[in-house]
Amino acid sequence: MKKIVFSGIQPSGTLTLGNYLGAVKNWNTLQEEYNCIYSVVDLHAITVRQDPIEFRRKNIEMMALVIACGVDPQKSLVFFQSQVSAHAELAWILNCYTMFGELSRMTQFKDKSLKHKDNINAGLFTYPSLMAADILLYQTDLVPVGQDQKQHLELARNIADRFNGIYGNTFKVPEPYIPKVAAKIMSLSEPDRKMSKSDSNPNGAISLTDNADTILKKFKKAVTDSEGRVYYSEEKQGISNLMSIYSSVSGKSFMDIENEYEGKGYGDFKVGVAEAVIEELAPILEKYNYLLANKDYLEKAYRESAEKAAAFAERTLSKVYKKIGFIK
């Protein structure tokens, strides 16, 4: 049996080049080796107030983008979290097995509370219990995690251990999946910060839906330094970030890149990186636009996946209900 991988992505903003190279690009290779379950986690997104019309649009666009990036609905499950009610049901149960102190230590709660002082709701606080439910519902073996999600996965493991300790073996305790090569892409305008879809400077992030002209303009404006020579160094954050991007999309080593741009200036290098990124993203943008123009295919894909996911999740939920003593 193949191991099970679960990963979720919020429908907030558009995926960036950083999201793609750091995580999503790996999804289409993972599905060849594992049974992959991917979810657009719309329940998580409502901890922040959403405009319904805009929210529906963002959900559909995120689903189209995930599939355009290579997730194959014939090989993986890809669905909206809210379409599988077991996520919310198990989340409530796990709330009752999650300690207040554990949730209060979550750094993301502290960060988001500062950003949304007018809406510090209970969902924001219990968000990690829902994330644990997402993972544990599918008896997940591996969860791809970045640095900012390690704390949440550790909590999910603790909840699983606690529940299993009380009721016997119920949940598989998931392990983190760390890619062998995980590109960490920084902002083009502030190379000491991670590239983010919520970047306040629109030139800092490359969106997967940006056209070629926009990508070229953003790279031309990328922050570098005054030295003028292309080589990798931690002190040269801007150039080193551009080299990481170029290496990730071209497969070239840093040494290869240094040799290629020996004697050339930053202007040539920025254009070269931009062209490589445009070539990498062109088929994604083409498929994304096709999917949005053919929503029947898109709807069939996520509905069929949701039905399969619901059947899988129900097995775990029924097991939990029985262990607790609920009347079937």
Dihedral sign for Cα atoms in the order 31, 65, 177, 103: negative
Phi first, then psi: give them for residue 264, nearest 5 degrees. -105, 155
Distances from the Cα of 297 to the Cα of 10, 64, 291, 304, 322, angstroms: 22, 10, 7, 11, 38
Do residues 45 and 230 touch, judged by C-beta distance below 8 A?
no
The C-alpha atoms of residue 42 and residue 88 are separated, in whole angstroms, by 11
Q: What stretch of H or E contains 30?
A: helix 25-33
Active site residues: 112, 194, 197
CB atoms within 10 A of CB 185: 23
Among residues 181, 186, 159, the alpha carbon closest in space to that of 171 is found at 159
Do residues 2 and 33 touch, judged by C-beta distance below 8 A?
yes
The C-alpha atoms of residue 84 and residue 133 are separated, in whole angstroms, by 12
DSSP 148: G
